[in-house]
């Protein structure tokens, strides 16, 4: 009953370092998403993947890259972290793009110093 | 463009009080509307949804009615419990974009005191 699993849960980076946030879902969902959550701003979509092999930019893609490695996994990469990327990151998945219910991971709290 | 506006928090209530969290939206077409809840240290969970005008979503004692005439989807609960303390997000999913770009409100934090 794992659902959506994100790793790591916490991370501190120095400015300029790179890292990859991992996300995996075991529900055979087609669509996967990466959001960032900042105080007073709700969740904003960074990138999404409608299906295996496709990725598209969301609202705030700058400074990020993604890979839909296979149907289960959707990773988010920060090539050169900046303090403005300090945030909580959520991965989510849905059975398909029109299904209303999204399943969320527990989040990754990232601090860039 | 599409947007969701929620009342600012935090909202602090005593147990058994009545809860209303306001949510209004701006959208073209006929979006679906949602309330998500985020308990401390957890991801978001879908609380309830409504997919067309006048639909009422309900779950765990919470209700919200899709009001197209007032572009609102206010969350209500008749008697809150301490366990309802969480952050609540109103969200809109626009069918015109294939449902990908769900837009979330800023969130409203609810504290319920015993």
B31 to chain A, any CB pair closer than 8 A? The answer is: no
The tens digit of pLDDT for each residue in B90-107 reads 998 875 555 556 788 889
Distance, in angstroms, between A2 CA and closest chain B CA? 13
* Distance (Å, whole) CA B86 – CA B92: 20
Q: Note whether B110 and B19 are within 8 A (CB).
A: yes
Instruction: Give contacts of A48 with chain B, Cβ < 8 Å.
Output: 100-101
CA dihedral B3, B8, B12, B13 (to 10 degrees): -50
Q: What is the pLDDT of residue B101?
A: 67
Helix, strand, or coil (residue B88): strand
Q: What is the pLDDT of residue B95?
A: 59
Q: Which helix (H) or strand (E) holds A47?
A: strand A42-49
Q: What is the pLDDT of residue B62?
A: 98
Instruction: Give contacts of B100 with chain A, Cβ < 8 Å.
Output: 31, 33, 45, 48, 50, 56, 97
Residue A5 above 90 pLDDT? yes
The tens digit of pLDDT for each residue in A84-107 reads 999 999 999 987 655 557 788 989
Beta carbons of B100 and A56 less than 8 Å apart: yes
Strands B3-6 and B23-26, by their bridges, are antiparallel
Residue B107: closest CA among chain A residues belongs to which residue?
Answer: A42
Q: Considering Cα of A23, then A25, then A28, then A33, what sign does the dihedral take?
A: negative
Q: What is the pLDDT of residue B4?
A: 92
B98 to chain A, any CB pair closer than 8 A? The answer is: yes
Q: What is the pLDDT of residue B43?
A: 79
Q: What is the pLDDT of residue A2?
A: 73
Mean pLDDT of chain A: 90
Better-predicted residue by pLDDT, B62 or A59: B62
Residue A10: closest CA among chain B residues belongs to which residue?
Answer: B41
Instruction: Give contacts of B93 with chain A, Cβ < 8 Å.
Output: 100
Better-predicted residue by pLDDT, A66 or B97: A66
Distance, in angstroms, between A103 CA and closest chain B CA? 7
Strands A108-112 and A10-13, by their bridges, are parallel
Strands B62-65 and B75-77, by their bridges, are antiparallel
* Distance (Å, whole) CA B103 – CA A56: 16
Give the confidence band of A37 by pLDDT, cuts at 50, 70, 90: confident
Tokens representing B20 are: 């209303």
Q: What is the pLDDT of residue B39?
A: 87
Tens of pLDDT along chain B (114 residues)?
788 999 888 999 999 999 999 999 998 878 889 999 988 877 788 899 998 899 999 999 999 999 999 999 999 999 999 999 999 999 988 755 555 567 888 899 999 999
Interface of A with B (CB under 8 A): 4, 31, 33, 35, 40-45, 48, 50, 56, 58-59, 90, 92, 94, 97-102, 104-107
Distance, in angstroms, between B44 CA and closest chain A CA? 6
């Amino acid at each position: 009953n794992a659902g959506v699993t994100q790793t790591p849960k916490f991370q501190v980076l120095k400015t300029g370092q790179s890292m990859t946030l991992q996300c995996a879902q075991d529900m055979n969902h087609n669509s996967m998403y990466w959001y960032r959550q900042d105080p007073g701003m709700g969740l904003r979509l960074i990138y999404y993947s409608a299906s295996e092999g496709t990725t598209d930019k969301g609202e705030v893609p700058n400074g990020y890259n993604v890979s839909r490695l296979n149907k289960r996994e959707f990773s988010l990469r920060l090539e050169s972290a900046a303090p403005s990327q300090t945030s909580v990151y959520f991965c989510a998945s849905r059975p398909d793009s029109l299904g209303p219910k999204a399943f969320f991971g527990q989040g990754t709290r990232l601090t860039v110093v | 463009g599409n947007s969701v506006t929620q009342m600012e928090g935090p909202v602090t209530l005593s147990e058994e009080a009545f809860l209303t969290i306001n949510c209004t939206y701006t959208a073209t077409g006929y979006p679906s509307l949602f309330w998500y809840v985020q308990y401390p240290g957890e991801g978001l969970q879908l609380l309830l949804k409504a997919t067309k005008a006048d639909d009422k979503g309900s779950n765990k004692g919470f209700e919200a009615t899709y009001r197209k005439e007032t572009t609102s989807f206010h969350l209500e609960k008749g008697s809150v419990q301490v366990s309802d303390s969480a952050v609540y997000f109103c969200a809109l999913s626009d069918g015109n974009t294939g449902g990908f770009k769900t837009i979330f409100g800023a969130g409203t934090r609810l504290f319920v005191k015993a």
